[in-house]
Amino acid sequence: MTRITTTFERLQAEGRSAFVTFVMAGDPDFDRSLEIVQGLPGAGADIIELGMPFTDPMADGPAIQLAGQRALEAGMTLDRTLELVRRFREGDSDTPIVLMGYYNPIYSKGVDRFLAEAGAAGVDGLIVVDLPPEEDEELCIPAQKAGLNFIRLATPTTDDRRLPRVLQNTSGFVYYVSITGITGSASANADAVAPEVARIRDASGLPVCVGFGIKTADSARDIASVADGAVVGSAIVSMVGDGKSTDEVLGFVRSLADGAHAA
């Protein structure tokens, strides 16, 4: 039982979907990033995805790429990302934290060392977008043994032949990418998403959260009405990039959370 599993069980009992936020660790700097992350649960976030800044974020659109650049320029590292999680845990022992990013920084640090430090810091799960199921021995299986959920992405091109391989070692929840392309590039459509969510949920037995293309309270509500969770990243990160205050960012998050929770 991880915080992720406990959270979904609680939300299911309450009859509502999860609202999941993505922010980049260290954007625009460590202190401001920590302030935003600390405020997310109070603004309605049920699960927090925390980006690990990387120099070559191939799956991300301009907003998240720029967020990563700002964080790196401000001195953010993988070690400081784990420190941010530790600082967050000083005041919040319940909200799940999922680190999301790319394998290179983890590989450079060393898988065993990373997993030990991530678990000790209070990380609950990982989304590593450039490790396919064929590479599960690299990180997925060691992460599961270390008590961390390994969350896999499914996409509109994941057909019935490929899906079992994608799901074979997935835990916590499945992240369904609602559109083809990079983050922030289009808008999610609930009618198109609904049958895919049902197909993946039936195949996995896990909650299915939908991300990419959710930018407004209305779209968060629409997606949450057909999924177990709605994920918003680029729209939040863009507000940070535009220089909005922490209160403004969290106010926007609250409006999205209200939409998702109204489904």
Query: Which range marks the domain in which residue 165 is found?
Result: 3-257
Note the pLDDT of residue 162: 96
pLDDT in tens, 68-100: 999 999 999 999 999 999 999 999 999 999 999
Active-site residues: which are they? 49, 60
Residue 181 pLDDT level (bands cut at 50, 70, 90): low
Note the pLDDT of residue 186: 56
What average pLDDT does range 234-246 have in this prediction?
97
Residue 263 lies in a domain: no
Note the pLDDT of residue 187: 67
Q: Can you spell out the DSSP letters for the chain?
A: --HHHHHHHHHHHHT--EEEEEEETTSS-HHHHHHHHHHTGGGT-SEEEEE---S--TT--HHHHHHHHHHHHTT--HHHHHHHHHHHHTT-SSS-EEEEE-HHHHHHH-HHHHHHHHHHHT--EEEETT--GGGTTTTHHHHHHTT-EEPPEE-TT--TTTHHHHHTT--S-EEEE-SSSSTTSS---HHHHHHHHHHHHHHH-S-EEEESS--SHHHHHHHHTTSSEEEE-HHHHHHHHTT--HHHHHHHHHHHHHHHHT-
Residue 98 lies in a domain: yes
Residue 43 lies in a domain: yes
pLDDT in tens, 157-169: 999 999 999 999 9
Note the pLDDT of residue 178: 86
pLDDT in tens, 201-233: 999 999 999 998 899 999 999 999 999 999 999
Residue 249, domain CATH: 3.20.20.70
% of the chain exceeding 90 in pLDDT = 90
Total of domains in the chain = 1
Residue 262 lies in a domain: no
Note the pLDDT of residue 248: 98
